[in-house]
Chain A
């Protein structure tokens, strides 16, 4: 930062004493106060802060729920009803936690599609991005195991269907599944271990988030133009600019969150989960939580058990290869007229898959799921690599400053691609 010192100098004597022993204040200063952020960031860049807030919210509500919850197959359902009826504000804790999981996924999907749109996964942010995919996988595992805890019908059958995915593995599949269950079917040992892991995984997420932020602070944030900070004029200091904006966004997001919690707390759940688990009867229409639906649709689109499981896993793993599948030298879709259309088509296909995942697996729904699944993979394997070669990107601005202030101040634009960097460096 031009107008800020890059090295932190403690003012008080205690500060100096402490800083020379553990430079914590300096780390906070360089990461969250003096850290230069591009001056043109939009509200799409506040979802990282929203996600951090949601993780803390889930941990705080979860730790309190765990004080009143009983992880035993004979008592779990009752203990959740006990939380709802008897524990002071138990209903609020549970509704915050259950809807919080959904809000967490709303935020993470916005965050992920922001990365897709602005090419934030490209060099030099590949490691940062792949750490994000790992966080997403851990979130999925955490949410899945959390949903099992109330031990209702959807909990039980969701657990049965998802753990059975592993039985598709040739030869050792059935052994793996009985080791997941700790028995011959989903039962009390399964509930116990899921509770243990449901408590553990969020803290592992917190650990990966720390790496994620560390990796972010090496190249710095991407921005709507996709071109890097070139001078101090392209950036503003994190505090107060980003800090205040992030806090404001978190507050607005909390209003959205509160709307669900106070006005339709059960809308995102399933009524069947208020029926205690019954291993003899499967609910007529079993569907996962909304945030898993697109992947569930991909699973069902493939008429082969192992094939379906592989396709579902590949649907996420393929994200990790995006930095290399995307051959375009231009990061931001704002300068990629052709890709922009494919991007939105991809978004539509993802929503369609989500909707199809909520439909029964019959008739034309199956065919539609198959077409969407094929397109989903084609987007990564065909559209991304090919467009980089055939597309003519729009001229990029010379700098972030120019994109904000207008060209007349800084001079004419440059030919397409001239400001794009080779993918090997930042």
Chain B
């Protein structure tokens, strides 16, 4: 505080003029100890600058988000299942994301069902991963839940998928069974339009 310092200096000075000044300074000092209008203005200006700055950053950050065209391109896609043979895995894209459509064999379904669910890293029964009465159709996202590589079908210990990148293993239900992947291959939203046709990107409620 410059006032406090000069007050001390004035006190040691000793002259009449100094002591006069000193009492004046003392008065102002007591006023200064209270928050002044200037303090308020400092804080208000600082706050406005912070809020304004943050508001300005927002549109820049938001421009990085998926744009309207990309979102629009995420409209549901129809897939005809008739050409997909038993045992085959077909790859389709929805919203630029890879999706596996797997026509499972009876053994593959059995292998997926005969699992102690509690022993899984991401416990989910096979029945929760397919539509009722459509156990032969497994529809899952085609990017490994570790870092996004495309796992290779019918490979690995459980003949589901094996990810070549860092060795994640998935079973015939697309559930993670080994390696660094933290969760099962997720199920995209889809619905059966008929027995041989699915619509990816649309939930069954319609």
Contacts and interface: CB of A to CB of B under 8 A. Distances in A.
Interface in B29-82: 61, 64-67, 70, 74
A213 interface: no
Interface string B157-197: 00000001111000000000001111000000000000000
A182 B149 contact: no
B65 to A, nearest CB: 6
Given A183-B96, A187-B96, A305-B180, A281 B66 contact: no
Contacts of B164: 282-286, 360
Contacts of B97: 184-185
B131 interface: no
A298 to B, nearest CB: 12
A179 B148 contact: no
Contacts of B96: 183-185, 187, 279
Interface SS of chain B: helix, strand, loop or mixed? loop
Contacts of B70: 182-184, 187, 189
Contacts of A189: 66-67, 70
Interface string A265-290: 00000000000000111111110000
B149 A305 contact: no
A283 B164 CA distance: 8
A179 B180 contact: no
Nearest to B91: A280
A304 interface: yes
Interface residues of A, number: 37
B64 A179 contact: yes
Contact of A361 (B91, B166, B181): B166
Contact of B66 (A182, A282, A306): A182
A214 to B, nearest CB: 28
Contacts of B95: 183-185
B147 A182 contact: no
A193 interface: yes
A160 B147 contact: yes
A161 B165 contact: yes
B196 to A, nearest CB: 23
Contacts of B166: 300, 361
Contact of B61 (A164, A179, A360): A179
Contact of A279 (B98, B179, B182): B98
B66 A178 contact: yes
Contacts of B142: 280
Contact of A184 (B66, B147, B180): B66
B65 A165 contact: no
A362 B169 CA distance: 12
B163 to A, nearest CB: 8
Contacts of A302: 180
Interface string B83-116: 0000000010101111000000000000000000
Contacts of A280: 91, 93, 98, 142, 150
Interface of B: 61, 64-67, 70, 74, 91, 93, 95-98, 142-143, 146-150, 164-167, 179-182
Given A300-B166, A303-B179, A305-B147, 10 more contacts: A161-B147, A167-B147, A181-B66, A182-B64, A182-B67, A182-B70, A185-B97, A280-B150, A302-B180, A305-B146
13 contacts: A163-B148, A178-B66, A181-B66, A183-B66, A184-B66, A193-B64, A279-B96, A280-B93, A282-B164, A286-B164, A304-B182, A305-B181, A306-B182
